[in-house]
Amino acid sequence: MARLSVNVNKVATIRNARGGNNPNLKQVALDCERFGAQGITVHPRPDERHIRYQDVLDLSQSVTTEFNIEGYPDDRFMEILRKVRPHQATLVPDAPDVITSNAGWDTIKHQQFLSRIISEIKSLGIRTSIFLDPNTELISSAVATGTDRIELYTEGYAVLYPKNKEAAIEPYLKTAELAHQNGLGINAGHDLSLENLQYFNQKMPFLDEVSIGHALVCDSLYYGLENTIQMYLRQLQ
């Protein structure tokens, strides 16, 4: 069964809109774990528009399931990893001003850079994952970086799913199969939802973990957080 990691960025966005500490991000993360989530994901950005540097430190002292920190591996991000030592670091090629992650790494072009960064992260005892588009041509260079896993960027799947779910899943299947054959673990994330998650999970036999935030937080407005997490977990069974 693939594991569910809840991305709590949107919870921090709501808190920051009014200042103060409501909703309490730390308590929400602990409740997500209590309700069945097997991990907590954060993606701190330089402008701290949602997750703040202090949030990462606070959560690292509280999260008892897997703690996954996403981000572009600049000096500040690497400093956070050295200080926090999360279970997993997911590297994304985001520009500082991007609203949300919108592309995976070109592992051919950036292989040398990623290899150097991943070597340092793994020396800290942290599992590494790199955000990747569903493209089999990128797998050999991804393997060469030394990463432990890839995280498949699933926006393309989510967009095409309502029109043609078989076509939507095809490139992900091919990429995941090749990655698995080459010893890589498979994560996935971005725009996965109650609508499309079950089919994705059923078709992806090597799926280790999904990271879901935006859709899960939106659904919790209607269903409640505890019930929503249980609904997502059922899609992964």
The answer, yes or no, to whether residue 192 has pLDDT greater than 70, is yes
CATH fold of the domain at 3-235: TIM Barrel (3.20.20)
pLDDT digits (tens, 9 = 90+) for 75-92: 999 999 999 999 999 999
For 230, the enclosing helix (H) or strand (E) is helix 225-235
Please report which residue ranges of 66-190 form alpha helices under DSSP H: 75-84, 111-123, 139-144, 155-160, 165-181
Each residue's pLDDT tens digit, 128-181: 999 999 999 999 999 999 999 999 999 999 999 999 999 999 999 999 999 999
Q: CA nearest 27: which of 68, 59, 70, 69?
A: 59
Do the Cβ atoms of 216 and 6 come closer than 8 Å?
yes
Q: What is the mean pLDDT of residues 29-50?
A: 95
The DSSP H or E segment spanning 58 is: helix 53-60
Note the pLDDT of residue 101: 59
The pLDDT assigned to 132 comes to 97
Residue 99 is predicted with a pLDDT of 52
Q: What is the pLDDT of residue 100?
A: 55
The pLDDT of 124-131, averaged and rounded, is 98
CA-closest candidate to residue 131, choices 204, 187, 79: 187
Q: Is 85 helix (H, G, I), strand (E, B) or coil?
A: coil
Q: Are 130 and 114 in contact (CB under 8 A)?
A: yes
In this structure, the number of other CB atoms found within 10 A of the CB of residue 234 comes to 11
Cβ neighbour number for residue 176 with a 10 Å cutoff: 24
Residue 95: the pLDDT is 67
| E strands present in 56-115 | 66-71, 88-91
Which pTM was predicted?
Answer: 0.94
- Average pLDDT, integer, range 72-76: 94
The dihedral through the CA atoms of 225, 226, 230, 233 has a sign that is: positive
Q: Are 208 and 3 in contact (CB under 8 A)?
A: yes
Strand partners, 5: 39, 211
Confidence band for 22, pLDDT divided at 50, 70 and 90: very high
Q: What are the beta bridge partners of residue 149?
A: 129, 185
- The pLDDT of residue 217 is 97
Catalytically active residues are: 43, 70, 190
Q: Tell me which of 3-12, 41-50, 181-190 is least confident.
A: 41-50
